[in-house]
């Protein structure tokens, strides 16, 4: 196999051994050489000692999803050696630590085995068990630098930035790099037929994970109160918010905080705090994952009925129940859309990558305050915790937060009487007031039956009046939310419809299918309720492949319920084993369907 800038490297290590920094160094070096990269971390729900993998896809074409190939396996974990060897694509390479003899049973004739004595090299050069383990991981970066032709100067520059204040660490890391590099150059033909060459395709990009981007987005959106209960894979979102808030939100005059982050006792309390803060006029939010949504559901229904702006980031992980906390899925679509008992439905936003996590944060707050309702941003582990190459983030200085229909003291002073739940403008959205602003603004917030004037009721007509008005608001939401992204190829009657992190795999699949003369149109929904354009897209096609990452075709179900889409046209394509979806899956499924004679 020979190629340039199209290679997948998978590194098998043990968690807690510093391999994350080695892998980050490797990926960033390639990125700094101007070549697009995709990084995926497959890690256990564990602190130290279990197998972990990192996959770097070098993609000169700039695709965003993982590949189902493994061209070069770096097998540093004896526990998983056999499985790792089996994973290498035919014609690929496998690098292993040849300090110890390899079992003769583990053989494959269709791949090339590269043995490098990492442990021996590091034991000879470094003192102390911890340093030796850490440096062994840095040494494989050196070996790969030789085999792939990564510029050592780029690696050195990165180490200098990382360890700016610790010169000794720069030297020892560089020494380990050199050990691996020199050994590979001396013993193998470098570079491999599959290698990299500098490009200029990353200068306007950054590498960031979605949780960092979302946390940063919340700072830029003007969020002041965050409440949370730690849960994988959402924890790093609040970590990011705290970090950025500590940097940007400390009052220069007093040294005090312009923000408040509360670690709640559980998710029930976290959402209660968010609702209390929003009721009182702060932009507030909570990050969580599926189990948290289950726990928050009662309060989500409260916020829907009492009409309180509430922003929730659900970084989805594999369910049901505890499921696989460190694996990805899009399995909370239905539970978020209809969270809580009674007739409830909620606004959802679907970012597809870290860039959209950043830009959708202010949209989520704007929509929550404009619509006075919970808004849930459905990210997932793949987006939230993996490093993505995305275009540099821009901030539009003209942005003004939409705080929605909030009456000021002056407006209240001029009013005879204020009623909380009157639909004055016909858009289903009433006016609200904030406590402490004006005596005339006072009202009683309740989750019990209430009239449009805000009074408690058990009266049939008065109850129904409010519940029906919420449907008017639902239609207003439909018109305000971000529109789906739709792309037309050549004229044809088949399309792909997906959501969130399915985007990268589908876009790449469209290219690959086009090469086989299969041309599909494309629709990626960005919000729920669905805009009219989504219904029109489905109507225009004879068949629509609905690609999503859950077992039960939750997105497809929502399309049928919300916009009465013709279910006979909607062919589910479901990827739900916990690994991020790849284009090969989509291509294969589409070709299977075509072979069955369904369309295209």
Partner 1 sequence: MTYIAKPKISHPGMPKNKLGLTSRDYEGAVSTLCAGCGHDSVTAAIIQAVFELGIEPHMLAKMSGIGCSSKTPAYFVSQSHGFNSVHGRMPSVTTGANAANRDLVYIGVSGDGDSLSIGVGQFVHAIRRNLNMCYVIENNGVYGLTKGQFSASADIGSKPKKGEANNQEPIDAVSTALSLGATYIARSFSGDKEQLVPLLKGALMHRGFALVDIVSPCVTFNDHEGSTKSYAHTRQFYHHVIDIDYIPPAEEIKAAYAEGEAMPIQMHDGSTIVLRKVDRDYDLTSRASAFKYLRERFNAGEITTGLLYLDESRAEMHELMGNIDTPLSRVPYERLNPGSAELKKLQGRYR
Q: Which of residues 399-418 bind partner 1 (CB under 8 A)?
A: 399-401
Judged by CB under 8 A, does residue 292 bind partner 1?
no
Judged by CB under 8 A, does residue 441 bind partner 1?
yes
Judged by CB under 8 A, does residue 438 bind partner 1?
yes
Judged by CB under 8 A, does residue 284 bind partner 1?
yes
* Rounded Cα distance, 506 and 510, in Å: 6
Taking CB under 8 A as the criterion, which residues in 571-590 touch partner 1? none
* Rounded Cα distance, 242 and 285, in Å: 13
* Rounded Cα distance, 440 and 442, in Å: 6
Judged by CB under 8 A, does residue 541 bind partner 1?
no
- Binder to partner 1 among 181, 279, 522, 576 (CB under 8 A)? 279
Q: What is the largest CA-CA distance in the chain?
A: 89
Taking CB under 8 A as the criterion, which residues in 102-161 touch partner 1? none
Q: What minimum distance in Å lies between the beta carbon of 596 and partner 1? A: 45
- List, in sequence order, the alpha helices (H) in 249-341: 267-279, 290-306, 333-337
> Considering beta carbons, is residue 109 or 458 the nearer one to partner 1?
458
Token pair 């969270």: residue: 339
Taking CB under 8 A as the criterion, which residues in 498-517 touch partner 1? none
- Binder to partner 1 among 20, 199, 442, 480 (CB under 8 A)? 442
> Considering beta carbons, is residue 392 or 511 the nearer one to partner 1?
392
Half-sphere exposure of 119 (CA within 13 A, CB side): 11
Judged by CB under 8 A, the stretch of 9-17, 37-45, 133-141, 267-275 that binds partner 1 is 267-275
Backbone angles phi, psi at 69, to 5 degrees: -95, 160
- Binder to partner 1 among 83, 108, 446, 483 (CB under 8 A)? 446
- Binder to partner 1 among 160, 171, 197, 266 (CB under 8 A)? 266
Half-sphere exposure of 169 (CA within 13 A, CB side): 12
Q: What minimum distance in Å lies between the beta carbon of 388 and partner 1? A: 11
Judged by CB under 8 A, does residue 447 bind partner 1?
yes
Judged by CB under 8 A, does residue 58 bind partner 1?
no
Judged by CB under 8 A, does residue 456 bind partner 1?
yes
Judged by CB under 8 A, does residue 302 bind partner 1?
yes
Bridge-based pairing state of the strands 284-288 and 260-263: unpaired
* Rounded Cα distance, 441 and 346, in Å: 27
Kindly list the distances between the CA atom of residue 492 and the CA atoms of 23, 39, 544, 600, in Å, as whole numbers in the listed order.
43, 34, 11, 7
Judged by CB under 8 A, the stretch of 3-11, 92-100, 393-401, 537-545 that binds partner 1 is 393-401
Indicate the SS3 state at residue 325.
coil
Kindly list the distances between the CA atom of residue 178 and the CA atoms of 5, 67, 156, 183, 249, in Å, as whole numbers in the listed order.
23, 30, 11, 8, 43
Judged by CB under 8 A, does residue 21 bind partner 1?
no
* Rounded Cα distance, 77 and 11, in Å: 9
Q: Is the bond preceding residue 190 a cis peptide, omega within 30 degrees?
A: no
Judged by CB under 8 A, does residue 262 bind partner 1?
yes
Half-sphere exposure of 573 (CA within 13 A, CB side): 28
Judged by CB under 8 A, the stretch of 169-177, 202-210, 369-377, 469-477 that binds partner 1 is 202-210
* Rounded Cα distance, 455 and 194, in Å: 72
Judged by CB under 8 A, the stretch of 53-61, 72-80, 166-174, 259-267 that binds partner 1 is 259-267
Judged by CB under 8 A, does residue 388 bind partner 1?
no
- Binder to partner 1 among 46, 61, 79, 280 (CB under 8 A)? 280
Judged by CB under 8 A, the stretch of 140-148, 188-196, 262-270, 555-563 that binds partner 1 is 262-270
Judged by CB under 8 A, does residue 61 bind partner 1?
no
Instruction: Identify the CA nearest to 381 among candidates 330, 347, 334.
Output: 330
**Which of left, alpha, beta for 231 (phi over 0: left; psi -120 to 50: alpha)?**
beta
Q: What minimum distance in Å lies between the beta carbon of 164 and partner 1? A: 11
Judged by CB under 8 A, does residue 199 bind partner 1?
no
């Amino acid at each position: 196999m020979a190629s340039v800038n199209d290679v997948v490297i998978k590194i098998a290590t043990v968690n807690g051994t510093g391999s994350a920094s080695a892998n980050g160094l490797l990926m960033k070096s390639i990125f700094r050489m101007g070549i697009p990269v995709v990084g995926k971390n497959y890690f256990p729900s564990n602190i130290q000692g279990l197998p972990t993998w990192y996959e770097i896809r070098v993609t000169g074409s700039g695709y965003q999803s993982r590949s189902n190939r493994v061209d070069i396996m770096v097998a540093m974990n004896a526990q998983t050696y056999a499985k790792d060897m089996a994973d290498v694509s035919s014609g690929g390479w496998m690098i292993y630590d040849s300090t110890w003899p390899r079992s003769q049973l583990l053989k494959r004739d269709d791949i090339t085995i590269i043995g490098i004595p990492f442990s021996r090299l590091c034991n000879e050069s470094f003192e102390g068990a911890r340093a030796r383990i850490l440096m062994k991981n840095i040494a494989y970066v050196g070996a790969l630098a030789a085999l792939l032709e990564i510029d050592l100067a780029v690696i050195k520059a990165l180490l200098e930035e990382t360890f700016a204040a610790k010169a000794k660490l720069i030297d020892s890391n560089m020494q380990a790099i050199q050990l691996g590099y020199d050994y590979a150059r001396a013993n193998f033909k470098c570079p491999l037929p599959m290698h990299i060459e500098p490009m200029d395709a990353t200068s306007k990009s950054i590498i960031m994970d979605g949780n960092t981007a979302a946390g940063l987005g919340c700072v830029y959106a003007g969020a002041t109160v965050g409440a949370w209960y730690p849960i994988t894979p959402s924890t790093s979102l609040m970590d990011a918010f705290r970090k950025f808030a500590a940097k940007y939100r400390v009052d220069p005059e007093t040294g005090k905080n312009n923000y408040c982050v509360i670690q709640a006792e559980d998710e029930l309390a976290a959402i209660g705090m968010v609702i209390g803060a929003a009721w009182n006029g702060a932009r507030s939010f909570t990050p969580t994952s599926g189990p948290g949504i289950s726990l928050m559901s009662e309060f989500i229904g409260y916020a829907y009925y009492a009409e309180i702006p509430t922003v929730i980031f659900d970084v989805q992980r594999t369910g049901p129940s505890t499921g696989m906390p460190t694996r990805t899925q899009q399995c909370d679509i239905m539970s978020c859309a209809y969270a809580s008992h009674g007739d409830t439905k909620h606004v959802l936003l679907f970012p597809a990558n870290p860039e959209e996590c950043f830009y959708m944060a202010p949209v989520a707050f704007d929509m929550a305050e404009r619509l006075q309702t919970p808004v849930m941003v459905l990210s997932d582990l793949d987006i939230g915790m993996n490093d993505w190459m995305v275009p540099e983030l821009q901030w539009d200085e003209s942005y003004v937060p939409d705080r929605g229909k909030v009456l000021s003291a002056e407006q209240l002073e001029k009013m005879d009487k204020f009623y909380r739940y009157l639909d004055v403008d016909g858009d289903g959205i009433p006016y609200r007031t904030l406590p402490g602003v004006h005596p005339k603004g006072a009202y009683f917030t309740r989750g019990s039956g209430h009239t449009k004037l805000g009074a408690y009721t058990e009266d049939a007509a008065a109850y129904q009046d409010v519940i029906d008005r919420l449907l008017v608001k639902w239609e207003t939401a439909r018109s305000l939310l971000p529109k789906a992204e739709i792309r037309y190829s050549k004229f044809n009657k088949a399309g792909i419809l997906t959501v969130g992190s399915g985007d990268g795999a589908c876009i790449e699949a469209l290219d690959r299918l086009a090469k086989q003369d299969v041309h599909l149109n494309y629709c990626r929904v960005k919000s729920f309720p669905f805009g009219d354009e989504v219904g029109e897209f489905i109507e225009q096609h004879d068949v629509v492949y609905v690609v999503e990452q859950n077992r039960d075709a939750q997105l497809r179900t929502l399309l049928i319920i919300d916009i009465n889409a013709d279910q006979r046209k909607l062919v589910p394509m479901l990827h739900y084993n916990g690994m991020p979806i790849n284009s090969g899956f989509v291509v294969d499924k589409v070709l299977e369907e075509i072979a069955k004679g369904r369309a295209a």
